[in-house]
Structure 1
Amino acid sequence: MLISLSESKKSDFGKKDFLKQSKEQKVFSTIWSLESEVNNGGFIQYFSNGSAETVHFSIEALKTIGAEKMAQICSDAIKIAFPKGLPSDPQKISDEASEFPDGVLENLESIDSKFYEYPDNLTELLFDFVSKNSKDFGEIEKTS
């Protein structure tokens, strides 16, 4: 269901500039990007790719849907990757990520493992969030 939503006209994901999306759409786009990228290549991939534009909003997005433990994991990854602070520009996030030293990469792998344990069920929480925000996403039916 969430895959169909991400590809439909009901979602701004990949269709509308991130900064111009409503808060609800940003929550969906951020979590969709975060989960896709981390599952495909870890936090290093999330920080390196075009998804870097969502990094600043990631902790808020996770907390918005009630994924407090995942928000902490994301916060830890950001602190490890950017100990001097998260750059404000997404391109700088990507640029810095391409030059992470081995120690940072090793520490991020440890954080990746915590993410993969899914202490919060992102699919269920994101579905509930989308369902409660039908004005932004339309009516959503849960399929088994």
Structure 2
Amino acid sequence: MDAYGISEVQITDSDIVLSLHNGSTLSTPIQRYIRVEKASPAERLEWELTEDGYGVNWPQLWKPFPTGMVSVWDLLQDPLYDAAMKKMADNEWEISRLSPRDQELVALWRLEADVNNGGFLQFFCNWGEENCLTAIRALEAIGSSDMLHIVQQMYALVVPYGQADANVSLSDLPVLITEEDNDRMYELDQAFWDYPEPLPELVVRHYL
């Protein structure tokens, strides 16, 4: 286990606090985890580390998650995304003004947020081709080969519509896409939702 592994878990009235092997601590509000928040003091102490040591579960309260109900990687990834989005806001939401690193973080945040909310078409129609290509470069950079392959297939499905008609707009895509391509896109959305790789961990290890 490396420096990001959990060495100790403490639970206060307001927070879950993780101590890591590298000497740092991470805290998250207990109210984010309603079953832990509503649990008795004794039940809150019945936590278990995940097999890899980077997450915490409460098996008596909820079926264990492979990555943990509370995950080190999620807690470290969120500030990376938040900082990149703040830089976007500070630059009048002009992504071109950001460093390549921050552009990639913004693109990954948008990818996760939109695909998990409404699928790849929502992501592509909201942010466009250049943002999609930035997300693809980011997935390649962090070594997320399986997720990269999924997103590349998604992108390949929509490219022909722009090539066939230069005047097609992003808002037209959901109407123009064929039933066959739409069905295939849904299959790819589901593959993305299954998270074949630990994306938060890859993001943290590359960008932190």
Shared fold by TM > 0.5?
yes
Is the counterpart of residue 22 in structure 1 residue 102 in structure 2?
no
- Deviation of the 1:51 alpha carbon: 5.9
Show CA shifts across 1:82-124 (max 9, x none). Answer: 235679x9xx662342322322221110101111121221111
- The answer to whether the 8 Å contact 1:52/1:94 transfers is no
**Bigger helix fraction:** 1
Matches within 5 A, 1:35-50: 35-50=112-127
- Residue aligning to 1:95: 171
The worse-fitting range, judged by mean Cα deviation, of 78-87 and 64-73 is 78-87
SS at match of 2:87: coil
- Deviation of the 1:35 alpha carbon: 0.8
The worse-fitting range, judged by mean Cα deviation, of 48-57 and 3-12 is 3-12
Matches within 5 A, 1:15-94: 15-16=90-91, 17-50=94-127, 53-83=130-160, 94=170
- The answer to whether the 8 Å contact 1:81/1:108 transfers is no
**Bigger strand fraction:** 2
Match of 1:120 among 174, 197, 203: 197
Matched to 1:103, the amino acid is E
CA distance in 2, matches of 1:69, 1:101: 25
Q: Flag as ranges the 4+ runs of structure 1 deviating above 6 A.
A: none
Is the counterpart of residue 107 in structure 1 residue 188 in structure 2?
no
Larger Rg belongs to:
2
CA distance in 2, matches of 1:10, 1:38: 18
TM-score under structure 2 normalisation? 0.53
Percent identity, aligned pairs only?
Answer: 24
- Residue aligning to 2:81: 6
TM-score under structure 1 normalisation? 0.74
**How many residues are paired up?**
129
- Relative to 1, partners in 2 of residues 1:64 and 1:18: Cα closer, same or farther, differing over 3 Å? same
Unaligned residue ranges in structure 2 (runs of 5+)? 1-74
- Residue aligning to 1:136: none
- Deviation of the 1:10 alpha carbon: 7.9
Matched to 2:173, the amino acid is A
CA RMSD of aligned residues (A): 2.8
